[in-house]
């Protein structure tokens, strides 16, 4: 599915816009900025980056066992990217799933001029806020060259533009959940992410290998809306689930009464 969402596009590079431009059309820096839905498409797993420790890694090296959250940012962004990473870290802190055990976190810079040292500084800051033992093994903050960055950005439908006059990038805000084999499963837009929605996205990406019965019930009762990147309640499914739950309670009650009656009859015979 290809869907451009100009309404959710926020730009780091634009700080003041003429009123007429705001009313009539998108400002020039934002005309080539967006985040298109490409659910089901595959990532270029051979795209090479450098991790926060200075080691060269292919994107596919970070996948294979668990789903992943993939986040396009740049580390020296003066505003928007910090909000994205802060919002994500806040959500991850309350999520009942753990990085390195249940999923991978892959953040990549869209600025080819950024260094592993900058990536490491940002990783350590947010990892300290996350504050879970052993989580660092699942946190991958990457930098790369223009070719690798563009390949991954194009694959996830993330278009951005560089503004040399301010040395900043205009870009959208959001993240992508991908399957262990590198296929795009879900998009989440903006700078705040509901823990329930992100958890369900990871459960879907893991093909049911994460979570439990409650998650499967929630997936039945909530429908993913690709236009907003959120899960909304499906009324009829909730009604059906409620009806099944009611029948289950009635059946269990009848079973208890039946077993109690059999026990009483057995006692009368033996007495």
The C-alpha atoms of residue 71 and residue 129 are separated, in whole angstroms, by: 18
pLDDT in tens, 44-67: 999 999 999 999 999 999 999 999
Q: What percentage of the chain reaches a pLDDT higher than 90?
A: 61
Q: Is the pLDDT of residue 111 over 60?
A: yes
Nearest residue to 167 (alpha-carbon basis) of 24, 15, 13, 45: 13
DSSP state of 18: -
Q: Report the distance separating Cα 211 and Cα 97, nearest Å.
A: 8
- Reported as a single tens digit per residue, the pLDDT across 15-39 is 444 444 455 565 665 677 999 999 9
Under 8 Å between Cβ of 177 and 202: yes
Summarize pLDDT for 173-225 with one digit per residue, the tens: 999 999 999 999 999 999 999 999 999 999 999 985 655 545 555 556 667 77
Partnered with residue 189 across adjacent β-strands are: 174
Average pLDDT on 61-85 reads 96
C-alpha 206/C-alpha 181 separation (Å) is: 10
- The topology (CATH level 3) of 6-210 is Glutaredoxin (3.40.30)
Strands (E), 48-157: 48-50, 56-58, 68-73, 104-109, 139-142
Query: Does the pLDDT of residue 40 top 90, yes or no?
Result: yes
Q: pLDDT digits over 82-99, tens only?
A: 999 999 999 999 999 999
Higher confidence at residue 27 or residue 127?
Answer: 127
Average pLDDT over residues 120-147: 97
- Are 206 and 219 in contact, with CB atoms under 8 Å apart? no
Single pTM value for the model: 0.75
Report pLDDT digits (tens) over 137-183: 999 999 999 999 999 999 999 999 999 999 999 999 999 999 999 99
More confident position, 117 or 237: 117
More confident residue, 228 or 172: 172
* Neighbour count for residue 148 (Cβ, 10 Å): 21
Beta strands across the sheet bearing 184-189 = 139-142, 104-109, 68-73, 174-178, 184-189
Q: Contact at 8 Å (CB) between 33 and 13?
A: no
Per-residue tokens: 51: 């991790």
In which band, very low, low, confident or very high, does the pLDDT at 252 lie, cut at 50, 70 and 90?
low
């Amino acid at each position: 599915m290809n869907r451009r969402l100009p309404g959710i596009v926020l730009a780091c590079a634009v700080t003041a816009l003429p009123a007429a431009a705001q009313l009539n059309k998108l400002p020039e820096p934002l005309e080539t900025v967006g985040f298109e839905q490409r659910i089901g498409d595959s990532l270029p797993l051979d795209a090479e980056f450098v991790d926060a420790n200075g080691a060269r890694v292919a994107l596919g090296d970070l996948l294979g066992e668990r789903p992943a959250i993939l986040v396009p940012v740049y580390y020296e962004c003066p505003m928007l990217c910090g909000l994205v990473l802060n919002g994500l870290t806040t959500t991850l802190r309350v999520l009942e799933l753990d990085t390195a055990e249940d999923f991978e976190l892959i953040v990549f810079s869209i600025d080819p001029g950024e260094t592993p040292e900058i990536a490491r500084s940002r990783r350590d800051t947010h990892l300290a806020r996350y504050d879970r033992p052993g989580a660092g093994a699942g946190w991958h903050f990457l930098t790369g060259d223009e070719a690798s960055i563009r390949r991954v950005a194009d694959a996830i439908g993330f278009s951005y533009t560089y503004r040399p006059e301010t040395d900043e990038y205009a870009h959208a805000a959001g993240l992508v959940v991908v399957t262990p084999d590198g296929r795009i499963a879900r998009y989440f837009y903006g700078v705040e992410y509901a823990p329930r929605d992100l958890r369900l996205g990871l459960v879907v990406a893991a093909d049911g290998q994460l979570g439990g019965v409650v998650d499967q019930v929630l997936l039945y009762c909530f429908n993913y809306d690709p236009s907003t990147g959120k899960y909304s309640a499906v009324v009829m499914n909730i009604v059906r689930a409620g009806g099944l739950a009611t029948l289950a309670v009635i059946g269990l009650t009848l079973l208890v009464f039946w077993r109690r009656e059999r026990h009483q009859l057995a006692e009368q015979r033996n007495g």
